[in-house]
Amino acid sequence: MKKLSVAAVVLLVFGLASPVQGATDLSASHGFYEEMDYLLEREILQGYPDDTVRPDAEVTRAEAAIMIGRLKEFDGTQRDSEFTDVSAIQEASGFISAAADAGLIEGYPDGMYRPYETITRGDMAIILERLFIIPFNVDVSFSDVSENMEAFDAIKKVVGANIAIGYTNNTFRPNEAVTRAQFSAFLARGLEPEFKNDATIENSYLRDKTKTYVYDTETGVQRHVYNYVPTRNGFTMGYIWSIYEEDGSLLSDVLEREAREEYTIGYPRSEYYIDLQYPVEVGQTWYVDTPYAPQHEITDIGVTVETAYQTFTDAVEVTVEADQEEFMTDGYTYYMVEGFGEVKSVDVDGTVTKELIRVE
């Protein structure tokens, strides 16, 4: 067998060729075509000399550092690094060194980085949580993820940020290798709300993050906009739903989060409330005998609900129990629709307190 030169091996492993024009092995039918195309256009993802991008090839730790470095516009000039197995002769050394200096990647206790090893989904979650600075998480109960795992908190955050999602059998597979297409999808979701829409559970109640939702409420018209807020009142934020009053003034920011256990609405660095407990079935109850909120119960499914925006025929009816003694409420009913979240809320006397009137 003819031996490849060291330079050729490095080129094949790290993929430092010019941006692919044709990407001959990336068809429009690939599940992550749009995400990869998006990164190719931005030159965050680059291909190989043979005009391929090898979407299903596993990503090495060096390739991950390269893509992160291009995204952050780091200086990729080859140089020695803090790792004993990454020297200036390696093509990826500059990006590895810069990403390590920025605190985005780490090596092993023995001082090595192991650039040729594949990156796992758990490692990926840790890197993405640092890269996109995700301050909020969602409660998850993956059967293969435990609290003593290094990636535990990071996994909760990337799921909460709609960057990653587990599998339908309630696993996350933290030790499974990540492909170039998968890593591209994770990066694209961290950058663009459009791609976050794809990281949802089946039959999701989350709203479309590329649209604006307008509601008529008991306190006036409100516009809910999904936008990037670097900081608010000195706190790191990130992508979040912001609620604006009719005159354009900010009312508040809210978090809309969903896992396979529940759909929640909350406030940054404050309390959150369960709007829907899964599975969605009549008789499902939550906040039973708790001090946090009055009892909620799914009382009907497939309900027809008229709103100023449109008539929905597949709403879930949730009834909130009257509890004047502890929560000062006469009770009310609200309606949830897949892809829209809450579309209407009605007091026991028939007064509409919230209604979707427009989607822009």
CA distance 224 to 227: 10
Low-confidence ranges of the chain (pLDDT < 50): 1-20
Asked whether residue 1 is domain-assigned, the answer is: no
Q: Are residues 14 and 162 in the same domain?
A: yes
SS3 123: helix
In 3D space, the residue among 121, 120, 160, 164 whose CA is nearest the CA of residue 140 turns out to be: 160
> Whose structure tokens read 């009605």?
346
Same domain, 154 and 272: no
Label residue 191 exposed, middle or buried (CB < 10 Å: 0-12, 13-18, 19+): buried
Q: Residue 22: what pLDDT? A: 56
With respect to residue 259, please indicate whether it lies within any of the assigned structural domains: yes
* Rounded alpha-carbon distances, angstroms, from residue 251 to 39, 241, 244, 247, 265: 35, 11, 5, 10, 15
Helix/strand/coil for 345 = strand
Domain termination site, one of 132, 162, 196: 196
Same domain, 46 and 183: yes
Q: Is residue 201 in some structural domain?
A: no
| Judgement on whether residues 151 and 216 belong to the same structural domain of the protein | no
Q: Domain for residue 187, yes or no? A: yes
Q: Are strands 285-286 and 250-258 parallel, antiparallel or unpaired?
A: unpaired
CA angle 68, 73, 75 (to 5 degrees): 100
- Enumerate residues 6+ apart whose C-beta is below 8 A from 110: 84
Do residues 189 and 262 both lie within one domain?
no
Of 311, 310, 322, 325, the C-alpha closest to 347 is 322
H or E element that contains 336: strand 332-337
With beta carbons less than 8 A apart as the criterion, state whether 346 and 215 touch.
no
306: in domain: yes
- Phi and psi torsions of 41, nearest 5°: -65, -35
261 and 154 in one domain?
no
- In terms of domains, do 164 and 262 share one? no
Of 196, 231, 257, the last residue of a domain is: 196
Clarify whether residues 171 and 42 are in a common domain: yes
Token pair of 342 as six digits: 């809450």
- Tally the domains of the chain: 2
* Both tokens assigned to 261: 């256990």
Q: Which pLDDT does position 49 carry in this prediction?
A: 87
Same domain, 249 and 170: no
pLDDT, tens digit, 9 for 90 and up, residues 75-88? 999 999 999 999 99
Distance, CA of 54 to CA of 69 (rounded, Å):
20
Q: Which residue has the tokens 């090839």?
A: 57
Type and span of the H or E element at 196: helix 193-196
Domain span holding position 248: 212-359
Tell me which of 162, 196, 230 is where a domain ends.
196
pTM above 0.75, yes or no: yes
* 94: helix, strand or coil: helix
* 121 vs 155: CA distance, rounded Å: 9
247 falls within a domain: yes
Residue 206 located in a structural domain: no
228 and 296 belong to one structural domain = yes
How is residue 55 annotated by DSSP?
Answer: T
Is the same domain home to 186 and 116? yes
At 4 the pLDDT is 35
323 and 285 fall within a common domain: yes
Query: Which amino acid type is present at position 57?
Result: A
Residue 109 lies inside a defined structural domain of this protein? yes
Q: How far apart are CA 135 and CA 198, in angstroms?
A: 21
SS3 224: strand
